[in-house]
Amino acid sequence: MAENTDSRAHIRETSVSLAVNLGGLPMKNPVTDASGTFAAGREFSAFVDVAELGAVTTKGVSLNGWQGNAAPRIAETPSGMLNSIGLQNPGVAHLMADELPWLKSQGATAIVNVSGHSFDEYVQVIEALEDADAVGAYEVNISCPNVDEGGMTIGTDPASVQKVVGACRRATKRPLIVKLTPNVTDVAEIARAAVSAGADALSLINTVLGMAVDAERRRPQLARVVGGLSGPCVKPIALRQVWEVHNAVDVPLLGMGGISSGIDAIEFMLCGATAVAVGTANFVCPTATVDVANGIIDYCERQGVSDVAELIGGLQC
Amino acid sequence: MANPVNERARLLSNDPVGPRLYLMRLETPIIAKTTRPGQFVHLQIPAADAHILRRPFCVYARDAEAGTIDVLYQVVGEGTRLLAKATPAVVDATGGMSVLGPLGNSWAAVDEAQSGSGLHVLLVGGGVGAAPLYLLAEDLIDAGCAVDVVLGAQTEDALVTRERFAALLGREPACATDDGSYGRPGFCTTLSQEALDAGCSVDGAPFDRVCVCGPDPLMKIVAAQAHEAHVPCEVSTERRMACGIGACLSCVVETTDGLKRSCADGPIFDAEKVVW
């Protein structure tokens, strides 16, 4: 056992066709990371080759950068965690000068997650990124529950969703993925609003609003009191919402929420996801993205599935 | 700094050594060879699937030949409580314990000592924070430095690193206990101030550097003492972490250069730059 050490993990060779197309973004396999759990991949490059992933989804970027929230920013909860990082980021110029060239040098496909505190900021971030050639698609975060303005309000109101997605749509011809919040009464209604405004694909779910309390000290565990719940504990919520949205709209879906194995990923694809994102599992194991991809291959080979795309929406109810 | 690896470690021992204190020995051949003082490992708690996050611990001691590292830890919550229950048999049955490391930076004092010679270094460790200073003391002494050690703990039976330091130094470290059960009664900051005033116990020369690890209030006081004495000071920070490799931005430390990541930019910081 002592010699049994992991260096970089790799996605293994297979005869299974793994390629999918996410709203105009060709992916060599269905696996990316969930924004915010992977930075822009460089921190994980001692463990995985980011070029092997279907795409690398970068951490949310705003126009001039945000400071983020006060600490403690995380708390562990049963089979999950809460975070209120607050979208700390150094701004779009830094992403273009540093992370995107690195991703390009690695041969990775980049999905850039775009955040804003106003409709204009989303558009300005996209306009800046239009000059970068290393962007495969945008993922518009209309749903981050961590910031005071923007996120939460936009993503929970169909009219606001239509407005921001429409503005982003007019700013780019690149594939536009809109990331939905689960903290709504009817996710299908929000999904329809995003698609009607020009979204090429939808990603879901973002984190679920939650809270953790330290009873002994009678204080919240997070400095910001509430935060976003993620990890295996949210998977049933995520599967249900992916299934509902799959039945409501015709665009491809990027499913996420508690995926830590190939079987988890297959469950999302059966519920209608074209591709999947691995999030909190990256903190559990830095090879989680590759592990999930290999688990998808295992399943396909075992079940005699020659093309992974056959599984999309294949749930038999 | 060596690239981090994910080793499936055997747990060789995991024993109580003081009040809520445990000493764990792990078989991690690569990490044992590559760890520098101040770096940490990020451990998965065995047989506790609902606790998804790893726990970070500084490396207390390493034996490159035997391929082992020692970790001294305190039970502070549910995760460490479960870790304390882990046995070699359970860990073997689950295929080993996932250990990421070595992670984080190292003390600048080591580089400085290895490039020059004859540095006088004062090490100040509070509670379980004494553990990461042991590896530092080893490397500093190897590099020809004169090292003085000040340790503080609540009680005598919590001074669990004292004997190892005494064996390494060839003399007793200066100790303080909150309850006066061993050494100077009260906080070890009295001893660190006296050491800075008196100079190195070996030859009376003024200290060239102070390295401190312990609770934030202790590090803040010692940093102020070192500042007053015009001695460069480094501190080892501890924050709640998720990824441990610089991606998630959970473990931020406020510095005069902005927010830094304890896991990747630290855990060691120049005390002058930390905003306490």
pLDDT in tens, B127-136: 999 999 999 9
Per-residue pLDDT tens listing for chain A (317 residues): 344 444 799 999 999 999 999 999 999 999 999 999 999 999 999 999 999 999 999 999 999 999 999 999 999 999 999 999 999 999 999 999 999 999 999 999 999 999 998 889 999 999 999 999 899 999 999 975 445 444 456 899 999 999 999 999 999 999 999 999 999 999 999 999 999 999 999 999 999 999 999 999 999 999 999 999 999 999 999 999 999 999 999 999 999 999 999 999 999 999 999 999 999 999 999 999 999 999 999 999 999 999 999 999 999 99
Q: Do B95 and A1 touch (CB under 8 A)?
A: yes
> What gap in Å lies between CA B71 and CA B74, rounded to an integer?
10
Q: Does the annotation mark A144 as catalytic?
A: yes
* ipTM summary value: 0.93
pLDDT of residue A150: 45
Contact A138, A112 (CB under 8 A): yes
Q: What number of other Cβ atoms are within 10 A of residue B259's Cβ?
A: 15
Token code pair at residue A302:
């075992």
Alpha-carbon torsion angle A102, A104, A110, A115, nearest 10: 50
Nearest to residue B235, comparing CAs of B249, B215, B264, B208?
B215
Domain B5-103 fold: Elongation Factor Tu (Ef-tu); domain 3 (2.40.30)
Give residue B133's pLDDT: 97
Subunit contact B248:A85, Cβ cutoff 8 A: yes
pLDDT of residue B115: 86
Which has the closest alpha carbon to A43: B247, B225, B146?
B247
A136/chain B closest Cα distance in angstroms: 21
Domain boundaries, chain A: 20-70+81-209+228-311
Name every chain A residue with its beta carbon within 8 A of the beta carbon of B29.
2-3, 5
Distance (Å) from the C-alpha of residue A80 to the closest C-alpha of chain B?
6
CB contact under 8 A, B44 and A67: no
Q: State what percent of residues in chain B have pLDDT above 90.
A: 95
Rg of chain B taking only CA atoms, in angstroms: 18
Chain B residue closest in CA terms to A37: B248
User: Is the Cβ of B247 closer than 8 Å to some Cβ of chain A?
Assistant: yes
CATH topology of domain B108-236: Rossmann fold (3.40.50)
Smallest Cβ–Cβ distance between A7 and the set B5, B243, B247 belongs to B5
- DSSP strands (E only) in A94-235: 110-114, 137-141, 176-179, 201-204, 208-211, 213-214, 219-220, 226-230
Peptide bond into A252 cis (omega under 30): no
SS3 B95: coil
Residue B74 pLDDT more than 90?
A: yes
Query: Within an 8 Å CB–CB cutoff, is residue B252 touching chain A?
Result: yes
Residues B61, B32: Cα–Cα separation, whole Å: 9
Check CB contact under 8 Å for B243 and A68.
no
Residue keyed to tokens 């790799």: A10
Q: What percent of chain B has pLDDT over 70?
A: 100
Give the Cβ contact number of residue B230 at 10 Å: 8
Q: Indicate the pLDDT class of residue B261, thresholds 50, 70 and 90.
A: very high
Tally the C-alpha atoms within 13 A of residue B14's C-alpha that lie toward its C-beta. Answer: 23
Listed in sequence order, the residues at least 6 apart from B123 whose beta carbon sits closer than 8 Å to its beta carbon are: B133, B136, B137, B147, B148, B149, B150, B210, B211, B212
> Architecture of domain A20-70+81-209+228-311 in CATH?
Alpha-Beta Barrel (3.20)
For A13, the token pair is 């060779």
What is the rounded distance in angstroms from the CA atom of residue A129 to the CA atom of residue A231? 30
Alpha-carbon gap: B44 to the closest alpha carbon of chain A (Å)? 8
Q: Where in chain B is the domain with CATH 3.40.50.80?
A: 108-236
